Every structure is written in structure tokens, then in C-alpha cells.
Amino acid sequence: MNTTRIPILLYHSVSDSPSNEIARWNVSKRTFLDHMDAIADRGCMTLTVSQYLKVLELKEPIPDKLVLVTFDDGFAEVASFAAPALMERNISSTVFITTSPVVDARDETSRLPKATMMDAAAVVDLEDFGVEIGSHSHTHVQLDIIGARLVRDELVRSKMILEDLLGHPIRSVAYPHGYSNANVRRIAKEVGYEAACGVRNAFSSLLDDEFSISRLTVENTTSQSTVNAWLDQRGAALGGARNRYRTHLWRLYRRARFNAIPRVRPSRMQWRSST
Ligand SMILES: [Zn+2]
């Protein structure tokens, strides 16, 4: 089995004026450009998640110095600032969008923090920059602690909204907070996705399941030297073999906490407490 380590970077917000609520998951514009310059300077090859799927399915060989750049949630500045910078550097990327704010910026069902998110026009613009658009559910709920009917609704609704907007199939999804379980992965496959990203903070490799692709979260405290090490395939574990017992206990804890909070106005603490 080929265990080449493939860094899949996960960004959220790229902004010089993030709210306190998203500060931990934000990188400044300068920092982001430095990271992208490091990718370009190394001569790394970049792929979208759908292109990477062909590597995982062994239909394509693993390119030398492969890296993927991904973004979750759909913050407006990813379209207005990050996408043009990526295009300038010829870096392929994938942006996973939570669709509730795309439909209605004031939608109270969204569990995302208060921030300026992409509207429908911004999503269309983003694709024009050559970015692959994927789904990140409709309301950003933790999919592994809700019932199958709700999981299906979250995954189908976001897929349909993006497909109606862009006029072609949406092939990939990223689970909110990276959380999934066997049921969530099965439903994602059933409703027509071909690949799905989790988090895990580990390198991806051919050991990854297509519906549980490992990514490395870039936070505001992630240093350039850490990013450089990741690009050089050092400094993190290999995905595909997580500690299942610990994951199970954490899920039980989150489910109990989720059931203890009112459903009408979901706590934004959920978003803040983890990616
Ligand atoms: Zn998210």
C-alpha cells in the first residue's frame, strides 16, 4: 500500500478583520498569501477534491509534491480575496459551502458564526475563478448526532441549492466540524456525492476512504514553519487509522450536549468549540 503523505490544507476565514467568534479559524490575508507562495515556490501540484478522487481510486498516479487547498463554510472574503490570489498562482482549490446563508443571509437556522458569508452571486463568481464548489451541509449541524432523515435533508438540500445555482452536479461534500459516522457516509454516497472530507488533522493518503478524506486545519496559531513542514510531508500523522474508541466517546458527549440545548436558537458555541 502506498503511504505517500498528502497534505490537504483546510482554511475557514481569510480576513484582516475577523470577529472574535471566528478569530481562531481565521488567517490574515498576508499569512494566506505567504502560505500560497510556499506552495507555488515548492512547485507543488494542486488538485481539486474531485480530481484527487481519481488518485484515491487509483485511476491516476500520485503526482510528486501533491497538495490540496480547501476552505469550509463560505466566508465572503474567500471569494473576493482568496480566489483571485489562488488563480494568480495557478493553485487549484475546493470551497465547501454551507448553503443556508447563500439562500438567505438572515436565516436563523444557520449554526455558523455571525460573519459576512457568500451570497448566490459570490458563489457563481467563485466558480468562475476555477474553484471547485462542494457542499458543507445546509445549516452546519453536526451530522453524526442527528437522525438519518435530517442528515439526508441537510445533504440533499445543500446539493440541490448549489446545483440549481451552478447548473451542474456537485460531487463533493465536507462534513461540518469534520464529524461523520458510518450512517452519514452511507447517506452521502446514496444521495450522489462521490467524495467527502473530514478533518482528523492528519495527512491524507491512499489509505483514506473516499468518504472520509483527512485534512489538516490551518488556524490563526499555525506557523509558517508548520505549513512548510506539512508541504514537505512532515509534522503530522498519517490519516486512515484513527482512534475509534476515543472518537466514539467524544460523539456520545457531543450528542448529550446537543440534546441539552434548545433547538430554536442553536448555540453558536458549537461552532466555536471545534472546527
Ligand atoms: Zn464548517
Q: CATH number of the domain at 8-273, please?
A: 3.20.20.370
Please give the average per-residue pLDDT across 146-151, as a whole number.
96
- The pair phi, psi for residue 172, each rounded to 5°, is -130, 160
- CA of 52 relative to ligand 1 center, distance in Å: 21
The full length of the chain comes to 275
How do residues 37-91 score in pLDDT, each as one tens digit?
A: 999 999 999 999 999 999 998 877 888 899 999 999 999 999 999 999 999 999 9
- CA of 133 relative to ligand 1 center, distance in Å: 14
The per-residue pLDDT for 249 is 67
CB neighbours of residue 209 within 10 Å: 15
Q: Are 85 and 32 in contact (CB under 8 A)?
A: yes
- CA of 61 relative to ligand 1 center, distance in Å: 30
State the residue for C-alpha cell 458510518.
182
- CA of 12 relative to ligand 1 center, distance in Å: 7
Give the largest Cα separation in the chain, rounded: 49
What is 99-150 written as a DSSP string?
SHHHH-TT-TT--SPSS-B--HHHHHHHHHTTPEEEE--SS---GGGS-HHH
Tell me the pTM.
0.89
